[in-house]
A and B are shown apart, each in its own frame.
Chain A
Amino acid sequence: MKDKKSDILSKIGRDAGFKVPEDYFENFTAEMEKKFPEHDVIPEVKPDLWSKLRPYIYMTAMFAGIWCMMWIFNDLADKAGSDRYNSTIVAGFQNEENLDEFMLHGDISEYDIYTYEDSVAADKAKMELE
């Protein structure tokens, strides 16, 4: 694609006015030729099997870690749920004598028992549905 011509640029031209000393490029090449033996080329490093596999192994380890953490959290959540629904405690509360004894000597109100029974019933219903 041709660029749009600018009047001012056409007037100035493409010579920026930069000059170089006489024989500069010939002398430059000769100077550089002398300099190269002072600088060693960095040898080519061929990647070994470990460096090729490393990113994939790291990624696999990361996913395995995430899976383990999810498994642990899930297990802990299940255990916490089963602690709330403890069949021994429930059976104990269903026995009127135990309940009276507990209310008499323990620091527990009738309201606490009702709320506990309600929550147990709700948890049980949820577990049955699952």
Chain B
Amino acid sequence: MAYNDFNEEIIIEELRNEDTRQIAFNKVIRFYSEPLYRQIRRMVIDHESTNDILQETFIKAWININHFRGDAKLSTWLYKIAINESITFINKERSKYTTSIDDEDSFLINNLEADEWFDGDNLKIELQKAINKLPEKQRLVFNMRYFDEMKYEDISEILGTSVGALKASYHHAVKKIEDFFSSSN
């Protein structure tokens, strides 16, 4: 990360003070916009939707900054907002494109194929298709663990699930992705 002058404890103190709040929040945006973008992008796939959700995430965080008590990490709080915003977006899109909640989210893959900011090969598209077939929670766990290499302890704080359950989820997700590739070969 290019921005090295980031101390979470100091930032939280500055966020609590009305005089330093806005400058501190700008630092938060600079520090967290990239990891949050990556997380949202993996969920909603296309760049434009990701950009909208990322903006909405920071606006929500700003409006509710007084509700952040510092019990959890700032990153955990921001990830939670971003994930909730992404899920809300996917549910809205799902209700537009599909008739049943059991239908796979094929609109996400259509968005990927139409997205000018995707330059993956066929194998990467197939991987996204396989991830798309996973249940929502497994999809989240897989994305956080595989692409971001996040610690299970951190994922546990964000998703409110035990480390054991997350490990099981990740294991099932990898197995399903392998099965997807073996059945398509």
Listed in ascending order, the chain A residues whose CB lies under 8 Å from chain B are 1, 3-4, 6-9, 11-12, 14-21, 25, 28-29, 31-33, 35-36, 39-44
Are A32 and B167 also in contact (CB < 8 A) when A16-B42, A17-B118, A19-B118 are?
A: no
Within 8 Å of chain A (Cβ to Cβ): is B96? no
Within 8 Å of chain A (Cβ to Cβ): is B156? no
User: Do the beta carbons of B174 and A4 come within 8 Å of each other?
Assistant: yes
What residue of chain A has the Cβ atom nearest to residue B130's Cβ? Answer: A8
What residue of chain A has the Cβ atom nearest to residue B181's Cβ? Answer: A8
Listed in ascending order, the chain B residues whose CB lies under 8 Å from chain A are 21-22, 25-26, 29-30, 33-34, 37-38, 41-42, 47, 51, 54-55, 58-59, 62-67, 117-121, 123-125, 127-128, 145-147, 149, 152, 167, 170-171, 174, 177-178, 181
Neighbouring B residues of A6 by C-beta, 8 Å: 174, 177-178
User: Do the beta carbons of B149 and A14 come within 8 Å of each other?
Assistant: yes
Q: A17-B120, A18-B120, A28-B55 are in contact. List 11 more A-B contacts (CB 8 A).
A: A1-B167, A3-B171, A16-B120, A18-B117, A25-B34, A29-B26, A29-B29, A29-B33, A41-B21, A41-B66, A42-B64
Point out the residue from A3, A12, A41 that lies within 8 Å of B63, measured CB to CB.
A41
Are A41 and B62 also in contact (CB < 8 A) when A6-B178, A12-B123, A25-B34 are?
A: yes
User: Do the beta carbons of B147 and A40 come within 8 Å of each other?
Assistant: no
Q: Which 9 A-B pairs have the closest CB atoms?
A: A17-B120, A44-B66, A17-B124, A19-B117, A8-B181, A18-B41, A29-B29, A29-B30, A32-B29
Q: Chain A nearest CB: distance from B161 CB in Å? A: 16
User: Do the beta carbons of A9 and B117 come within 8 Å of each other?
Assistant: no
User: Do the beta carbons of A8 and B33 come within 8 Å of each other?
Assistant: no
User: Do the beta carbons of B177 and A8 come within 8 Å of each other?
Assistant: yes
Point out the residue from A3, A9, A19 that lies within 8 Å of B119, measured CB to CB.
A19
User: Do the beta carbons of A28 and B51 come within 8 Å of each other?
Assistant: yes
User: Do the beta carbons of B65 and A41 come within 8 Å of each other?
Assistant: yes
User: Do the beta carbons of A39 and B59 come within 8 Å of each other?
Assistant: yes
Are A40 and B63 also in contact (CB < 8 A) when A4-B174, A18-B38 are?
A: yes
User: Do the beta carbons of B146 and A9 come within 8 Å of each other?
Assistant: yes
Neighbouring B residues of A12 by C-beta, 8 Å: 123-124, 127
Question: A31 vs B55: C-alpha distance in the bound complex, in angstroms?
Answer: 9
Neighbouring A residues of B171 by C-beta, 8 Å: 3-4
Question: A20 vs B167: C-alpha distance in the bound complex, in angstroms?
Answer: 31
Q: Chain A nearest CB: distance from B70 CB in Å? A: 13
What residue of chain A has the Cβ atom nearest to residue B115's Cβ? Answer: A18
User: Do the beta carbons of A39 and B63 come within 8 Å of each other?
Assistant: yes
